[in-house]
Amino acid sequence: MLYFIEQCLNGVQLGMLLFLLAAGLTLIFGIMDLVNLAHGSLYMIGAYFAATFAALTGSFVVGLVLALLATLVVGMALEVIAMRRLYGRDHLDHVLGTFGLILFFNELVRLLWGPAGMTLPLTTQMLTAVEVLPGVYYPLYRVVIIVSTLVVALLLYLLVMRTRLGMLIRAGASNREMVGALGINIKLLFTLVFGLGAALAGFAGMMQAPILTVQIGMGENILILAFVVIIIGGIGSIRGAFVAAIIVGLIDTVGRAFLPDLLRLFLSTNAASSAGPAISSMLIYMAMAAILVVRPEGLFPAAGR
């Protein structure tokens, strides 16, 4: 039972990371109609920056702040140099162009940091288990991840729903030509939105760096999960992304943890051991398939487009 709760918490944690990525992707797609496959690269860059700056400064927090700024700069530079030339083009162009960028970034990281990947060590304090529920112990750092990502999600909500910038972002998602015709510099708005998306992706990458991974190609694996989240939640919907991300995180984590045991009830041990991992990895895609059958537009499809 305790194991189950721990896996649920891990699932929520994964879900929150997925949400940050999916939210950024949704924002960028909603406003600029841009399909950005290189979004995962920003996640990777954030992790690498965090590991590097933390090692240089000796402080995890300082490293994090510097990495966030660096990722923001890289994101906005990327938008100005490459992305803005893709606006208004066919989605196939976006896919091809950003695919090329993924290859570029993966190789650039390999050139600058080497092929081996990096680690971001944590203080022993961060690794100690705290009592989150009566009798349930969970590592402090993982709690920090969940809490901080929830805070970021809340800030994002406030930004989009309660500020003028948020109004412009939402207005731009439905009619960007009119937003420009009313005096707003949409080019600048686009750069800011892209930067915001990059920062969200980078933040997710940074936060998971100490406990999961800092390696080349990490962006693509989670990017595809983020796509699954967007499909389940509904394209263009941040609320949908939030709900879907938690669902996907839980299904994937809890599923992988318990499915092999569940299979052992029905199949021989051998069959369960070989089929278990394979089927576990299919779970979220099966969930996605189910949504496509029942509700192809997603759980919370965005209105007004």
Partner 1 sequence: MITRLRPRDALIAVVLAIMAMVPVYSSLTGNYFLMSLFTRISILAIAAVSLNLIMGFGGMVSFGHAAYLGIGGYAVGILAKEGINSGLLQWPLALAASALFALAVGALSLRTRGVYFIMITLAFAQMIYYVAIGLDRYGGDDGMTIYRRSQFGLIDLSNKTAFYYLCLVLLLMVAYLIWRIVNSRFGMVIQGARSNDRRMRAIGYPTYRYKLVCFVIAGTLCGLAGVLLANHTDFINPAMMQWTRSGDLIVMAVLGGMGTVLGPVLGALALLLLEEALSGLTEYWQIIIGPLFLLVVLFARGGIDGLLVGMRHG
Partner 2 sequence: MAQSALLEVSGIETCYGLSQVLFGLSLAIAPGEMVTLMGRNGMGKTTTVRSLMGLTPAMAGSIRFEGQELRGLPAYRVAKLGIGLVPEGRQVFPNLTARENLVATAANRRNAANPWTLEKVCALFPRLSERLLSMASQLSGGEQQMLAIGRALMTNPRLLVLDEATEGLAPLIRAEIWQCLSRLKAQGQSILVIDKNVEALVRIADRHYLIERGKVVWTGTSRELAADPAVQHRYLGV
d(CA 22, CA 19): 5
Q: How far is the CB of 303 from partner 2 (least distance, A)?
A: 6
Residue 227 makes contact with partner 1 by CB under 8 A: yes
Q: How far is the CB of 179 from partner 2 (least distance, A)?
A: 7
Pick between residue 73 and residue 167 the one whose CB is nearest to partner 2.
Answer: 167
Cβ burial, residue 90 (10 Å; 0-12/13-18/19+): exposed
d(CA 220, CA 79): 19
Residue 43 and residue 219 in contact, taking contact as beta carbons nearer than 8 Å: yes
Residue 13 and residue 254 in contact, taking contact as beta carbons nearer than 8 Å: no
Closest CA to 208 of 29, 40, 27, 23: 40
Binding residues for partner 2, rule: CB under 8 A, are 164, 167-168, 170-171, 173-175, 177-186, 302-304
* Binds 289: which of partner 2, partner 1, none (CB < 5-8 Å by kind): partner 1
Footprint (CB under 8 A) of partner 1, residues 260-299: 274, 277-282, 285, 288-289, 292-293, 296
Q: How far is the CB of 169 from partner 2 (least distance, A)?
A: 10
Chain-centroid distance, C-alpha 236? 15
* DSSP type of residue 267: S
Q: How far is the CB of 269 from partner 2 (least distance, A)?
A: 54
* Binds 300: which of partner 2, partner 1, none (CB < 5-8 Å by kind): none
Q: How far is the CB of 281 from partner 1 (least distance, A)?
A: 4
Residues that bind partner 1 (CB under 8 A): 29, 35, 82, 85-86, 89, 91-93, 95-97, 99-108, 110-111, 220, 224, 227-228, 230-231, 235, 274, 277-282, 285, 288-289, 292-293, 296
